[in-house]
Amino acid sequence: MELSKQEKKELLKKWKAEQNKKYLLNKTKVRQLFRFLQKELDKEPCDHTLKKTAQWVGAHCPPDKLEPLLQEMRDMGGFCDCEVLLNCYERYEIE
């Protein structure tokens, strides 16, 4: 099935918006979060929640950013701490 011209335009628009997306955490904070999660998950396996991620965000970001940050990670496929590491890493473009 071939996409219509309008559908192609919409997909291109969406792709461009993704490329210019501003994330709520800067790269330094993202690296700190990922290091924290890796260390914590090495000690104790993921319990399939965002408990450790929320703990880090609560300690390093203003309280009003907690839910928006967790939602941003869910939007990237991070529904638990290990998924934040696995799915959000590339989206944040950490190198």
- What number of other Cβ atoms are within 10 A of residue 76's Cβ? 17
18: tokens are: 């993704």
2: tokens are: 């071939």
**pLDDT, tens digit, for every residue of 19-77?**
556 788 888 999 999 999 999 999 999 999 999 999 999 999 999 999 999 999 999 99
In whole angstroms, what is the distance from residue 44 CA to residue 93 CA? 26
Residue with tokens 């000690």: 43
Note the pTM of the prediction, 2 decimals.
0.74
